[in-house]
Amino acid sequence: MVFINQKDKQFKKKLKMLLGFTPGNIFLYQQAFTHKSKADHNQSIRQSNERLEFLGDSILDAVVTNYLYKKYANADEGFLTKLRSKTVSRTMLNKLGKKIGLENWLQYSDKFSSAMIGNAFEALIGAIFLDKGFKKTEQFIVDKIILPYIDFDTLLQTENDYKSKLVEYSQQEKIPYEFECEEKTDKNKTQYFCSLKLNRKIVATGTGRSKKQAEQEASRLFFEKHSKSDT
């Protein structure tokens, strides 16, 4: 028998409200909300959420792929791939994590970033999978995430190829651009950091699991800042 203290009981009670079902192994979920910075600064914490994030990323891809395959029965592979990419993009995952309030669950020691929310969201998916299996995880993603928060018709109209938009902007404004990218590997996890330069000045820096993803994120951040400066 596993005994849990009062703090863990409260955590489990709140977690049940978030998930819509009673969790089994609450320590998986505590790990899901623990950023690497917190684990590095606290020797009593054995693991961060990175491994669960890795697992959750694959599970989320599988569930979204299956959902779109059934929803758009006559769509071709290109359409499904593009829509899935938009659905599980880093920006979208950050938004979805925020929608369900994950920023209130995070444990971290570093300066907060929105990417922590998206990473915790994926880690939560991984924790549910290990705790309850694929079917329960799929049910959570569909009922608690997709149906209430994702409008695929709107998503289809959303342009997310920010790098192509950057090329057009550069040509129109006659401003040269370049990316400076750095690859970092930590505990078998590779992360790319790409700085976008306009006229040799850094205007935005993006991160991602691939160089392409990091360049897209840097381009997106530039246009986000650019649109705010115009208002």
Would you please indicate which residues are annotated as catalytic (active-site) residues? 57, 122
List CB contacts of 113: < 8 A, sequence separation 6 or more: none
Can you tell me the distance from the alpha carbon of 37 to that of 148, in angstroms, rounded to the nearest whole number? 32
Q: Do 203 and 147 form a contact (C-beta atoms < 8 A)? A: no
Structure tokens at 44: 């009593």
Strand order in the sheet with 189-198: 177-186, 189-198, 201-208
Q: Do 34 and 47 form a contact (C-beta atoms < 8 A)? A: yes
